[in-house]
């Protein structure tokens, strides 16, 4: 017998343990037209956060804010001419800031207004 081969009488055969196997769940992708890398996960909630009236009030508030900033803007195009009556007019100093603040208050009211339809009414 060769010296490099193991002696079967001295080396009993050891049982070989099975290698652990990872459990993988097969997930099937559904084919859709919106297979994109930046696709957002789909939601099961189909109800909107606000009611239609909330969005209308929110739009009115945003319109008032934009109107207030438009009322504040304007003036002469020549920077060398300083027209004190135009810059410190009632429209720019009083009316425009009141319009902007009223717009912000209306937006706060639109956010805090409770919607007419709730989840409990639908069930």
Write phi, then psi, for 39 (nearest 5 degrees).
Answer: -70, 135
Determine if the pTM surpasses 0.75: no
- Report the SS3 class of residue 72: helix
Give me the residue spans of the domains in the chain: 57-114
- pLDDT the model gives residue 48: 78
Alpha helices in 11-95 (DSSP H): 52-72, 84-87, 90
Return d(Cα 67, Cα 60) in angstroms, integer. 10
Give whole-number Cα distances, 50 to 15, 40, 43, in Å: 67, 21, 17
Which tens digit of pLDDT belongs to each residue from 4-17? Answer: 666 656 666 666 67
Q: Give the residue ranges of the chain where pLDDT is below 70.
A: 1-16, 22, 24-36, 76-77, 117-123
């Amino acid at each position: 017998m060769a010296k490099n081969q193991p002696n079967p009488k001295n080396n009993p055969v050891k049982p070989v343990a099975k290698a652990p196997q990872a459990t993988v769940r097969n997930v099937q992708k559904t084919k859709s037209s919106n297979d994109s890398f930046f696709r957002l996960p789909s939601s099961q909630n189909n109800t909107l956060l606000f009611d239609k009236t909330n969005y209308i009030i929110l739009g009115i508030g945003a319109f008032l804010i934009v109107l207030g900033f438009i009322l504040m803007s304007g003036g002469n195009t020549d920077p060398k001419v300083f027209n004190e009556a135009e810059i410190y007019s009632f429209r720019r100093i009083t009316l425009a800031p009141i319009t902007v603040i009223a717009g912000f208050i209306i937006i706060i009211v639109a956010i805090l207004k409770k919607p007419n339809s709730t989840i409990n009414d639908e069930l």
